[in-house]
Structure 1
Amino acid sequence: MLVRVEGIVIRSMDYGENHKIVTLLTNECGKAGVLIRGAKKVRSKHASLAQPFTYGEFLLFRGNSGLGTLNHGEIIQSHHDLRMDLDLAAYASYAAELTDRALQDDEAGSYHFHQLLACLAALQEGKDPGIVLNVYEMRILDMSGYAPVLEQCVHCGNVVGPFKLLPHAGGVICSRCASRASDAIPVSENALKLLRLFSKLDMRRLGNINVSLHTKTEIQTCLSSLMDAQLGLRLKSKQFLDQLGKLN
């Protein structure tokens, strides 16, 4: 059966001497594995469709195995700039790997597709990549069912601050409850306001957000702790960003 999908390449791996298998995040069919024959050949007309972050239209033959085979494809947006710049490639790789690992095949839908597409567009447009990834991390937590509780104490429901973040509880706790939680992370009022904003912000509506270095470091620490506690993923792309000093 031939199936036509719009998709973003979130993973690409070699298969045999000349082929590649890519994982697409599609607009309508969740995640899809696709064999692209001859993609490793220098003159392959489909080589560019196997490149990470490529957004295109793919005509697939899908049998009973679940793995599709590319019949034809057209690039809609290559995101070439994201692959050519080391820093941008690192950020985009993290977004792609995070999407692949955090979302199950049958969980991903049109909303997930458009959030990743907007994330890649924001990186390519030159918006602050750290902030872009922080907002996207919040979207991933939300889409995975782990949206943090940031408006009230996750333990007692108190809405009056000051608050601290308790990552394993999935939200903030008030000063009274924090006295019994030695591992709670201090969070300033400015950082908490931005975390609350990020928790509601659609990637497609992301503008330029100017954040001081100190507050940015706070936000990165909070989100990194939440991601570790709630998702527990160990991502090679995240480790590389940490080595570059790009994310805490």
Structure 2
Amino acid sequence: MLYTVQGIVLRTTDYGEGNKILRLLTREAGKVGVMARGAKKVKSRFGAATQPFTCGEYVYFKSSGLGTLSSAEITYAHNGLHEDLMKSAYASYVAEMADRMLEDGEGSAALYDQLAAALAAIEDDKDAQIVVHIFEMQMLKMAGYAPILEECVSCGSRTGPFAFSAQLGGTLCPLCLHKDAQGIALPEGALKLLRLFTGVDIRRLGATTVKSETKAVLKQCMRAYMDAHIGIAWKARHFLDQMEKYPLS
């Protein structure tokens, strides 16, 4: 059967001497795998359309197993993500999340739109860390692991100030803070942003200005939560850490 989809290239794998296997997140069919025959060849008609982060219309034939790419037309090449190493690292992380947290056939039009918006926002110089945290929250909601942020995860109290417990799954009130020795102090500004992340549409994200101290707390919370509940050793996140530790001169 022939399928026509709007897709984003999440990852490519070389196969044989001249072929590539693409992992696409599509609006219509969730995550799919397709073989792009001859894509590694210099004059391949699929060369540009099979680069990571590329958004386009992909036509493929599939009866069982992997599909076979028939044609591809680029909508957004996102060249800016390839030309800037830091932007590429952030883009790789959101793409890796979609790839590794979704099984074949999983996904939705809404998630596709959020990933497309995240890539565009990173390329357009919006705060990449904030974009990543919003997408992390989108993926957590999709997986059914969204943190509880409106009340104490232990007793249900709505009286703060709150701390954040990655292990227990959300915020802790002062009376329950002793239940997690690793609880992270959560300033009101950081809590408001975490709550905002659970429902914001990346397509409507405007310019953001977040204090460096607040961003450090957000990063600590989201890292701890992703590690506690998803447990994936993110390759792109490790690369981001190396970039921050040893910045380019």
TM range (shorter): over 0.9
Instruction: Count residues with an aligned counterpart.
Output: 245
The match for 1:22 is 22
Deviation at 1:104, TM superposition (A): 2.3
Q: Distance in 2 between matches of 1:203 and 1:155?
A: 31
Q: Distance in 2 between matches of 1:206 and 1:18?
A: 40
Q: Distance in 1 between matches of 2:135 and 2:206?
A: 13
Structure 1 unmatched ranges of 5 or more: none
The 8 Å contact of residues 60 and 67 in structure 2, kept in 1 or not, is answered as yes
Q: Which amino acid aligns with 1:39?
A: A
The match for 1:49 is 49
Q: Distance in 2 between matches of 1:107 and 1:14?
A: 23
Secondary structure, aligned partner of 1:245: helix
The match for 1:59 is 59
Q: Distance in 1 between matches of 2:5 and 2:180?
A: 48
Check if 1:130 corresponds to 2:129: yes
TM-score of the superposed pair, with normalisation by structure 2:
0.96
Deviation at 1:80, TM superposition (A): 1.1
The 8 Å contact of residues 33 and 104 in structure 2, kept in 1 or not, is answered as no
Q: Distance in 2 between matches of 1:77 and 1:224?
A: 30
Q: Distance in 2 between matches of 1:64 and 1:222?
A: 42
The 8 Å contact of residues 29 and 106 in structure 2, kept in 1 or not, is answered as no
Structure 2 unmatched ranges of 5 or more: none
The match for 1:112 is 111
Deviation at 1:16, TM superposition (A): 0.6
Deviation at 1:128, TM superposition (A): 0.9
The match for 2:228 is 229
Deviates more, 1:1-10 or 1:174-183: 174-183
The match for 2:240 is 241
Deviation at 1:175, TM superposition (A): 0.8
The match for 1:208 is 207
Deviation at 1:144, TM superposition (A): 1.3
Q: 1:106 to 1:69 in 2, by over 3 A?
A: closer
Post-superposition CA distance 1:144-164 (Å, at most 9, x none): 111111110001000000111
Secondary structure, aligned partner of 2:35: strand
Deviation at 1:200, TM superposition (A): 1.5
The 8 Å contact of residues 32 and 105 in structure 2, kept in 1 or not, is answered as no
RMSD (Å) for aligned C-alpha atoms: 1.1
Q: Which amino acid aligns with 1:4?
A: T
Q: Distance in 2 between matches of 1:104 and 1:40?
A: 26
Q: Which amino acid aligns with 2:47?
A: A
Q: Distance in 1 between matches of 2:63 and 2:106?
A: 21
Post-superposition CA distance 1:122-165 (Å, at most 9, x none): 01111011111111111111111111111100010000001111
Q: Which amino acid aligns with 1:170?
A: G
TM-score of the superposed pair, with normalisation by structure 1:
0.96
Secondary structure, aligned partner of 2:107: coil
The match for 2:34 is 34
Deviation at 1:96, TM superposition (A): 0.3
Q: Percent identity?
A: 48
Q: Distance in 1 between matches of 2:110 and 2:199?
A: 14
Deviation at 1:220, TM superposition (A): 0.6
The match for 2:79 is 80
Q: Distance in 2 between matches of 1:33 and 1:104?
A: 10
Secondary structure, aligned partner of 1:9: strand
The match for 2:189 is 190
